[in-house]
Amino acid sequence: MLMLGIALLSGALSVLVMLPAAQHLRSFQDGEQTSATLHTEGSCMIGQCKVEFRAEGNTVVADLPVGSGGGKSSVGARMTVRYHADDPWVAVRDEDTGGGGAAVLTVISGGTALLFLVTSVVAPVYASRQRRADPVAGVTSPEGGPAGPANP
């Protein structure tokens, strides 16, 4: 039952969180491209990084969305970003427009879900077959021999 719960949780993470994050990153493929500087470092994969760049003559400090890479970069690091002209407050590293780390985590959590789902089905079947094949200790057949499949 625990394995089935892990499978459902991992599948939900893949479908409800990481897949939309990867699609969001891909939506920037046709966005405006510009050079930026890492403004706030943190765990970019969970959306804690910010970049600074110029858009239409204004200096903008934009969030890098969930699933972005670049977490090992330090403040001041230069990078190329893409943003939507109508919303420059969110930018994506140019390297992440293919889905970035979110796409990788989608595959990993989906694979984990599949593994635990198969295991949660196979384990009880295997256990029930083992119980039928093993003779029960202390039980004898009417002929006096051990009880089992060959000696009912």
pLDDT in tens, 64-102: 888 787 767 788 899 999 999 999 999 999 988 887 777
Confirm if 113 and 11 have CB atoms less than 8 A apart. Answer: yes
Q: What is residue 150's predicted lDDT score, i.e. its pLDDT?
A: 56
First-to-final CA distance of the chain? 32
Q: What is residue 112's predicted lDDT score, i.e. its pLDDT?
A: 86
Q: What is residue 31's predicted lDDT score, i.e. its pLDDT?
A: 93
* Confidence tier at 105 by pLDDT (50, 70, 90): confident
Q: What is residue 136's predicted lDDT score, i.e. its pLDDT?
A: 59
* Confidence tier at 36 by pLDDT (50, 70, 90): very high
pTM of the model: 0.65
**How distant is the alpha carbon of residue 119 from its chain centre?**
19
pLDDT at position 148 over 60: no
Which residues, 6+ apart, have CB-to-CB distance to 8 below 8 Å? Answer: 113
| Token pair in block for residue 67 | 């699933």
Q: Using one digit for the tens of pLDDT, what is the confidence trace for 108-144?
A: 888 888 888 888 888 888 888 888 776 655 555 555 5
d(Cα 117, Cα 121) in Å, to the nearest integer?
A: 6
Mean model confidence pLDDT for the chain: 82
Greater confidence (87 vs 16) lies with: 87
| Token pair in block for residue 36 | 């930026």
